[in-house]
Structure 1
Amino acid sequence: MTELASPPRPPRREFRNINAFTDLRTYRLPPAGIVSILHRVSGVIMFLLLPFIIWMFDTSLSSDYSFAKFKAAFNTGIGFAPGWFFKLVALALIWAYLHHFIAGLRHLWMDVSHAAVTKEFGHTSAMATLFLSILLTLVLAAKLFGFY
């Protein structure tokens, strides 16, 4: 019996581990991978800034005098740290919370809806997560730094 002639197949892609010293500059991480890494980074930032969150909450609610100190920390600073530094730390915390929340909703949606686990959905939802977290952070940064 003769076999039917089939068209030649293209060579298969080679999957390999990347070398951190040589391949990181040229490796293109997909948006879903970037969002996944940033989800972990934002969780670590929120964990590390937990004492700052507790200080802000305690100082803003204790008394009128402590609230005035709280506002002065963000306007003029405390000790060696200027006010803009506290605003930048608060802005990092705002971004971490927004990104972690939006990426968490993305992960929950993928867990609940099995139809959402496709390459196209992963790409579009990752881009939407990045766009929304940056846009909302910029809006709140404008409010924090007094642009409106």
Structure 2
Amino acid sequence: MADVKRVERPLSPHLQIYRPQLTSLTSILTRITGNALIVGVILAAWWLLAAATSPEYFEVANAVVTSWFGKLVFFGSIWAVWYHYLAGLRHLYFDAGKGLEIATAEKLGLACIIGSVVLTIVTVILV
């Protein structure tokens, strides 16, 4: 039987070699924000159900919603809504067959991130 010399090669790109791309990060961020919005919806639904249940139960829910944790969740939810909205518009643009070049896709991804931060700040100031 012949001796076969095996070459040691990585099976997938190693983290020291692979550089995350903006387009992949924005895609992952779209999925994360979509799922993270569930936390804000659950907190808001709990607050509304507590208001319909009893004054004592509403006091507990209102204490949580108005605490630093509740404010953080709702602030994050405001940003997640804006980011998810802008990313959805970007995907509609992609679905039309436009903006699929790497440079354009990266610019649109950066616009989603910057736009969501700006719109979040504007929303917090106005509300």
TM-score of the pair, normalised by structure 2:
0.70
Q: Please list the CA deviations of residues 51-109 of structure 1 after superposition, one character each: whole Å capped at 9, or x if unmatched.
A: 1132345568x6xx7xx969x93xxx34xx86222111101111111111110110011
Superposition pairs for residues 125-136 of structure 1, below 5 Å?
A: 125-136=108-119
Structure 2: runs of 5 or more not aligned: 1-10
SS of match in other structure, 2:93: helix
**Structure 1 partner of 2:25:** 34
What is aligned with 1:7? none
User: Kindly tell me: are residues 143 and 18 of structure 1, through their superposed partners in 2, closer, same or farther at Cα, counting changes over 3 Å?
Assistant: farther
Secondary structure of 1:17's partner? coil
Query: Structure 1: which 4+ aligned runs deviate by more than 6 Å?
Result: none
* Equivalent of residue 12 in structure 2, options 17, 28, 36: 17
Shift of the alpha carbon at 1:32? Answer: 1.3
Q: 1:83 aligns with which of 52, 67, 71?
A: 67
Which of the two has higher C-alpha Rg?
A: 1
C-alpha deviation, 1:143, in angstroms = 5.3
> 2: distance between equivalents of 1:139 and 1:109?
25
Please say if 1:120 is aligned against 2:103: yes
Higher helix share: 2
Residue of 37, 40, 48 corresponding to 1:46 = 37
* Residue matched to 2:94: 110
**Residues 79 and 117 of structure 2 are in contact (CA less than 8 Å); yes or no, is this contact kept in structure 1?**
yes
Q: CA deviation at 1:142?
A: 4.4
Task: Sort the Cα spacing of 1:139 and 1:119 in 2 relative to 1 into closer, same or farther, 3 A.
Answer: same
Change (3 A) 1:40 1:32: same
Structure 1 alignment gaps of length 5 or more: 1-15
**Equivalents in 2 of 1:29, 1:134: separation in Å?**
21
